[in-house]
Amino acid sequence: MLIAIPSDPPGGLDAPISEHFGHCAVFTLVAVEDGRIGEVSLLENTDHEQGGCMAPVHALKARDVDVLVAGGMGMRPLSGFQQVGISVHFKENATAVGEAVELYLAGQCRAFGEAETCGGGSGSCGGHGHGVDHAEVVREPIVGPADIRDGRIVTLAYILKDTEGNILDGSDRSGPMRYLHGAGRTLPALEQAVAGLEPGSETVVELTPEQAFGARDDSRIVQAPREQLPPDVQVGMTVTAEDEGGRRFMLRVVGLDDEKVTLDGNHPLAGLDLVFEVTVLGVEAATAEEIAHGHPH
């Protein structure tokens, strides 16, 4: 089974779920077999000019996606998914991709209906705020400098590297970074570094592990008997585990042999000094609804 979830850059299990389905930067595709998470891949969203709001439907169908988990959408794409055999489910209270996958696998993501679509019941664009219709957002012009500050929508092109110059991610791969400045949904140190910049500005931001994804914690590296995992498990796959309190979390397979599997619960970028090469593509005034919801529409 292949599950797709609209995601904010850079995508992946830890990425926030994009609240604007039709215009998300990327879809995170999560392969699931026997109830376990396997390969995680990314699919860049299709330009709406190349097929309108049905473009994501055709793109996901071409990748043999079985299930879409999202926050909301219009009736037209929902009907399109139903026609091509892709089951659509509501993300409930999940905020990150991995959380949504876990909820779906636990049977807690209800199927989409009229109440979850824009213009229908409590799931309308103005109700849940999971805006999915494709009406253009009307913004007030910025009076004065169009610099980055709290309450403005920021779009950044970026290249993410380690200190040796190896490229780890970037907007060419995952799409531009778009966020509401001051809402706390991006790395605080990165927000501070770009504050005050205007469109066209470029900067290089160096982050320590503590400013980025935290230090590596060796206690989060564990081993499990090989027979407790699926027979086709491979290094790089992600599996789920459950602690004594019943909370489920993700682990990456980092090593295995015939007897045991080594699992890592750290973020993939934990412990790394990171370098963001950033170009400011745009700064816009946020609407009152975007400020209330904490994200761009």
Does residue 169 sit in the same domain as residue 276?
yes
User: How far is residue 115's CA from residue 19's CA, in Å, rounded to a whole number?
Assistant: 16
CATH number of the domain within which 73 lies: 3.30.420.130
Is 128 part of any domain?
no
Q: What is the pLDDT of residue 242?
A: 65
pLDDT tens string 14-61: 888 987 677 788 899 999 988 888 889 988 876 544 445 577 888 898
254: exposed, middle or buried (Cβ count in 10 Å: 0-12, 13-18, 19+): middle
Is 103 part of any domain?
yes
Q: Give the predicted TM-score (pTM) of the model.
A: 0.58
Q: What is the pLDDT of residue 78?
A: 78
Does residue 107 sit in the same domain as residue 18?
yes
DSSP string, 129-189: ----S-PPPP-PPPPS-----TTEEEEEEEEEEETT--EEEEHHHH--EEEETTSS-S-HH
Does residue 104 sit in the same domain as residue 74?
yes
Does residue 17 sit in the same domain as residue 71?
yes
Does residue 48 sit in the same domain as residue 83?
yes
Q: What is the pLDDT of residue 49?
A: 43
SS3 243: coil
Q: Token pair of 38, please?
A: 């396997």
User: How many distinct structural domains can be found in the chain?
Assistant: 3
Q: What is the pLDDT of residue 247?
A: 59
Rg value, the chain, Cα? 20
- Those residues whose C-beta lies under 8 Å from the C-beta of residue 235, and which sit 6 or more positions away, are 253, 254, 255, 256
Is 37 part of any domain?
yes
pLDDT tens string 134-144: 456 789 999 99
Does residue 115 sit in the same domain as residue 176?
no
Does residue 170 sit in the same domain as residue 237?
no
Cβ atoms 88, 78 nearer than 8 A: yes
Does residue 22 sit in the same domain as residue 64?
yes
CATH number of the domain within which 223 lies: 2.40.10.330
13: exposed, middle or buried (Cβ count in 10 Å: 0-12, 13-18, 19+): buried
Does residue 288 sit in the same domain as residue 205?
yes
Is 139 part of any domain?
no
In eight-state DSSP terms, residue 98 is: H
Range of the domain at 253: 218-264
Does residue 227 sit in the same domain as residue 106?
no
In eight-state DSSP terms, residue 128 is: T
295: exposed, middle or buried (Cβ count in 10 Å: 0-12, 13-18, 19+): buried
Does residue 32 sit in the same domain as residue 157?
no
Cβ atoms 252, 236 nearer than 8 A: yes
Is 12 part of any domain?
yes
The segments of the chain whose pLDDT lies below 70 read 20, 46-53, 113-136, 174, 240-250
72: exposed, middle or buried (Cβ count in 10 Å: 0-12, 13-18, 19+): buried
Is 17 part of any domain?
yes
Q: What is the pLDDT of residue 243?
A: 64
Does residue 93 sit in the same domain as residue 175?
no
